[in-house]
Chains A and B, each alone.
Chain A
Amino acid sequence: MNLLGEPFVWRALAAGLGVAVVAAPLGCFVVWRRMAYFGDTLSHAALLGVALGVVLDVEPMLGVMVAALTTGVLLVGLQRFGEFAIDTVLGILAHSTLALGVVVLSFVESVRVDLFSYLFGDILAVTGGDIGWILAGGALVLGMLVFLWRPLLAVTVHTDLAQVEGVSVTAVRLAFVLLLAIVVAVAMRIVGILLITSLLVIPPATARRFARNPAQMALLAALAAAIAVSAGLGASLGWDTPAGPSMVVASAVLFLLTVTLARPRS
């Protein structure tokens, strides 16, 4: 059977590219700001969002956005956590929200929820409607990222300096969390909750050695992500492996290749 003739393949490719190309530039900031674990926490909280969406009978993607956004805003707002270090707090939040999501879903017996597809993604099942969400969300994120680029970069390099120079630091931080929440929501269908952070972190890491400035790194990261998504999807179709994890494996292989083969630059 010729897979390239199947519409679901093209839908999967469009959805995968749509998410990856948006997640990679945003992921550069996740890497620069050392927020990988923060991203992980937001995506784990997403399952609680799915559960809420199912219970309240609204679009799960919306539930995910609300859950991720609430968690993120709470974390940004709290700033200090008494005697607990931030990674401890993130660890508690990430796993308790994930577990709570699973527990809540188990109560909803009337609806059969394919937990596996939420955890690892189900890109081959995306619908035209999903692609609409992905494109709309992606365009919004990219637009806002371009708008926020300079202040976000200034805050990333030195928060106090940026604030003295007139950047509204809290607003920038909250906007960044909003962008992450949107990406988590749209990426969930593609690679699943457990693998979203890989879309944010691996392509920027791959791009680092070739980039001479921040914008270049963002563009190269998007390119690396696009290659990984296409290769992973191809491999998944050829060898009948799960699509989301295959993309992540492809991304990791690409990273390893560039790290071993390319000479480090500035």
Chain B
Amino acid sequence: MTDNEPLVRADGVTVCHGSRLVLEGVDLRIAPGEIVTLIGPNGSGKTTLVRVLLGLLRPGEGRVRRRRGLRIGYVPQRIHVEPTLPLTVGGFLGLGVRTGRASHRAALAEVGVGHLLDEPVQYVSGGEFQRVLLARALLREPDLLVLDEPAQGVDVGGQRELYRLIARLRAERGCAVLMVSHDLHLVMAATDRVICLNGHVCCRGEPEQVSGHPEYQRLFGPLDREFALYTHDHDSAHAAGTGEERRPAE
């Protein structure tokens, strides 16, 4: 086993839901330590591909190979806990790995929500719960973090913070990251490779390559211009209103 061996590789993955072809001949590799972002419009099969890679869904054709002993930390899209279930954030973390309170506290602190340890999960807001889920994933000491739309329901400022956090976790822990996003520009700074999906792989490459690719422009064109405001101002503290001179050269 070499270090360059992919953590996960998918070859020719094809999935049908009934008569509808959701994924067709998708190839994908995730190398150790890299951040890969899946991007695509609604119904493009992003979540389906993630489920296949996680082993939650068997592809109709093609195959998925995971490196032996691969530990995956999974952050699902949204989670609803029944109000009848009395569960604190600490109790929720304990469902993943059997570790003590101290490590729960440390994991929560690492993602910036240390104060939530004893809160009932039902009282935790959507954005905070994303971080709790991230903490549960980190407790597994994962080789690969998989995040399905981690920024859903989080405001733009919060999203950028979240992506920054993900980039920091990768830098500190060296784990690979696979994430699904609907907005390339927000994740640009935090991602190594982008795969643009629309049933099949439309284009792939570094973020700048993908954002300039005709297939990507065809899928995201109009939307892209609306969001252009935020491009490349990741390090600006007063970003939103001052995008004028930062408009990307197209």
Q: Specify whether A and B are partners.
A: yes
**Inter-chain contacts of A213 with B (CB < 8 A):** 86-88, 91
Within residues 78 to 114 of chain B, which ones have a CB less than 8 A from any CB in chain A? 79, 81-82, 84-88, 91-92, 95-98
Given contacts A213-B86, A213-B88, A266-B86, contact A157 B56 (CB under 8 A): no
Interface on A for B, CB 8 Å cutoff? 31-34, 150, 153-154, 156-158, 160-165, 204-205, 208, 211-214, 216-217, 266
Shortest Cβ gap from B132 to chain A (Å): 12
Beta-carbon contact of B56 and A160 below 8 Å:
yes
Q: Which of B54, B84, B88, B123 contacts A164 (CB 8 A)?
A: B54
**Inter-chain contacts of A156 with B (CB < 8 A):** 85
Chain A, residue nearest B95 (CB): A154
**A150 vs B81: C-alpha distance when bound (angstroms):** 16
B43 at the A interface (CB under 8 A) = no
Beta-carbon contact of B76 and A160 below 8 Å:
yes
Beta-carbon contact of B84 and A204 below 8 Å:
yes
8 contacts between A and B (CB under 8 A): A150-B95, A154-B96, A156-B85, A160-B74, A161-B79, A164-B74, A214-B85, A214-B87
B174 at the A interface (CB under 8 A) = no
By size class, the interface of chain B is: 20 to 34
Residue among A31, A32, A154, A211 with the highest chain B CB neighbour number at 10 A: A32
**Inter-chain contacts of B164 with A (CB < 8 A):** none
**Inter-chain contacts of B229 with A (CB < 8 A):** none
Shortest Cβ gap from B37 to chain A (Å): 19
B140 at the A interface (CB under 8 A) = yes
Chain A, residue nearest B140 (CB): A165
Question: What is the interface of chain A mostly: helix, strand, loop, or mixed?
Answer: helix
Residue among A154, A204, A216 with the highest chain B CB neighbour number at 10 A: A154
Given contacts A158-B76, A213-B88, contact A32 B82 (CB under 8 A): yes
B72 at the A interface (CB under 8 A) = yes
Given contacts A158-B76, A161-B74, A164-B56, contact A212 B88 (CB under 8 A): yes
A-B pairs under 8 A by CB, number: 65
Chain B, residue nearest A211 (CB): B86
**Inter-chain contacts of B87 with A (CB < 8 A):** 157, 213-214
**A156 vs B85: C-alpha distance when bound (angstroms):** 10
B55 at the A interface (CB under 8 A) = yes
Task: Known pairs A150-B98, A163-B55, A208-B86; list 5 more (Cβ under 8 Å).
Answer: A32-B82, A157-B79, A157-B92, A160-B51, A211-B86
Shortest Cβ gap from A253 to chain B (Å): 20
Beta-carbon contact of A214 and B56 below 8 Å:
no
Shortest Cβ gap from A153 to chain B (Å): 6
Residue among B51, B72, B85, B123 with the highest chain A CB neighbour number at 10 A: B85
Beta-carbon contact of B76 and A217 below 8 Å:
no
Given contacts A157-B79, A157-B81, A160-B74, contact A165 B86 (CB under 8 A): no
Shortest Cβ gap from A246 to chain B (Å): 26
**A158 vs B136: C-alpha distance when bound (angstroms):** 13
**Inter-chain contacts of A205 with B (CB < 8 A):** 84
B120 at the A interface (CB under 8 A) = yes
Beta-carbon contact of B95 and A208 below 8 Å:
no
**Inter-chain contacts of A31 with B (CB < 8 A):** 82, 84
**Inter-chain contacts of A161 with B (CB < 8 A):** 74, 76, 79, 96, 136
Shortest Cβ gap from A123 to chain B (Å): 28
Beta-carbon contact of A165 and B85 below 8 Å:
no
**Inter-chain contacts of B98 with A (CB < 8 A):** 150
Beta-carbon contact of A208 and B56 below 8 Å:
no
Shortest Cβ gap from B107 to chain A (Å): 14
**Inter-chain contacts of A34 with B (CB < 8 A):** 82
